[in-house]
Amino acid sequence: MGDQVASFNVHDRFRFRVSAPRPADLRAFSAKFAAFGVDHVDEPDVEVLLGPHDVGEGETTLVTKESRCGRGFVHYAETYKVVRWRVLLAGLEDRQWRVRCHCRPAVGYEAFITKVLRPLFALKLATQGSALLHASAVGVKGRACVFAAFPGVGKTSACFHLARKGAELLGDENTLVDPEGGVWSFPLSIPVTTAMLRRHGLRPELSLGERVRLRVGDLVGLLSWGFLEKSLGLAARRCFSVAERAEPWRVYVLARSPRPFAIERLAADECARRLVLIQQFELTRVATYLSNYLVANPASALADPAGVLRRSVEPVVARAETYGVNLDEARLGGSFERLAAHAGLA
């Protein structure tokens, strides 16, 4: 029996395909990117192949403890929490990149999507002039408010807060920006736990099977002290109204501290600089592996990732109002209320 295949088309701007010998290995991908699932794609930008693999990519020119690299490929092994990965990135100078990944147990693919694949997509899109921002976004009367921040600051909470006030969801973790600065939806399935549903006040109607999976996910997280990422993937449209595209309006770069809530205009250059820093943090794991690749391939088109990222964010920064925001960590609810009022959703 041949490999099982899942294909995805993101607004006709980015296509990828995932193949695996077992249907179970595809489930995490099919659930996460369900909004973009299609029957077939020709010539995907990224080909993802799951399961055991040999390197077989020609002569190796650089070997370190973690990886081996050669012309056009880098192969590495890593333990993330309790999951062991073996990942081969190949064709990095070609139009189509190939990603081979093998991990056990299959639940490891959920972490692989977050820690490797999505950041890799962001880098691939940046080389094509688009940006997959590490940011949430909502549409307000056809205009996009984008919330960029380092993990844990509150971009998802800000996005959900505004969505509950009538804004349309564009994305809670990643936001796609085209080369003209237009903002497109990237509504991945939302990984929820019982605690998250309560914290954000989400009350979707769940089937009996979904309730069981939610409880199992809570139990797995508890018994593994948070080392296994197993949660219920909930379609964004189950909780919110989702827009497909919005014109750029405002970009908010969020920070969080004990200081009172504050919002101030940012110069476009400073906003772009902060966005690139956030993008680079998101790419930390992938950039670590590519650093060895660049030693073996110093003339690579990926030799200046900061420059590539900077050029990809400039179109939206040039067309939007840009702000820096401090969220008062002692009064987060009040901070989100004031942010909503600034976005016209009081």
Whether residue 163 sits in one domain with residue 27: no
Same domain as 267, residue 289: yes
Q: What is the pLDDT of residue 2?
A: 62
What is the predicted pLDDT for the residue at 108? 81
**pLDDT tens-digit series, residues 174-187:** 999 999 999 999 98
* H runs (alpha helix) in 69-207: 108-112, 118-127, 155-164, 194-200
Give residue 230's pLDDT.
67
Neighbouring CB atoms inside 10 A of 27's CB total 17
56 pLDDT above the threshold of 80:
no
Q: What's the confidence (pLDDT) of residue 155? A: 92
How many angstroms separate the CA atoms of 202 and 75, rounded? Answer: 41
Residues 155 and 218 in one domain: no
Longest dimension (CA), the chain: 61
Q: Do residues 172 and 282 both lie within one domain? A: yes
Question: Does 17 or 208 have the greater pLDDT score?
Answer: 17
Same domain, residue pair 22 and 106: yes
Angle between helices 305-319 and 118-127 (to 10 degrees): 80
Asked if 88 and 102 sit in the same domain, the reply is yes
Query: In 10 A of CB 122, how many CB atoms?
Result: 22
What the block records as the tokens of 24 is 């179970």
Query: What DSSP letter does each residue of 144-171 carry, written as one string?
Result: EEEEE--TTSSHHHHHHHHHHTTPEEEE
The mean pLDDT value for 23-27 works out to 86
Q: In this model, does residue 210 exceed pLDDT 60? A: yes
Number of structural domains in the chain: 3
Q: What is the dihedral of CA 134, 139, 143, 144, to 10 degrees?
A: -10
Closest to 310 in 3D by CA, of 271, 282, 284: 271
Residues 72 and 85 both lie in one domain: yes
- Residues 153 and 182 reside in one and the same domain: yes
**What value does the mean pLDDT take over residues 11-38?**
91
Q: Given this model, what pLDDT does residue 204 score?
A: 81
Q: Which position has the token pair 């990926």? A: 302
d(CA 253, CA 177): 16
Q: Which of 176, 211, 234 is the last residue of a domain?
A: 234
Which of 99, 129, 159 corresponds to the end of one domain?
A: 129
**pLDDT tens digit sequence for 76-108:** 988 887 788 899 999 999 999 999 999 876 678
Lowest mean pLDDT among 39-53, 78-92, 132-146, 211-225: 211-225
% the chain with pLDDT above 70: 96
pLDDT band at 20 (very low <50, low <70, confident <90, very high): very high
Please check whether residues 158 and 277 belong to one and the same domain: yes
| pLDDT digit string, tens, across residues 133-166 | 999 999 999 999 999 999 989 998 899 899 889 9
- pLDDT for 27 equals 86
Q: Do both 14 and 82 map to the same domain? A: yes
Structural domain containing residue 285: 132-188+240-342
Mean pLDDT, residues 287-295: 90
Place of tokens 């692989």: 112
Last residue of a domain, one of 78, 106, 129: 129
Q: Are residues 245 and 304 in the same domain?
A: yes
Confidence tier at 227 by pLDDT (50, 70, 90): low
The answer on 123 and 72 residing in a single domain is yes
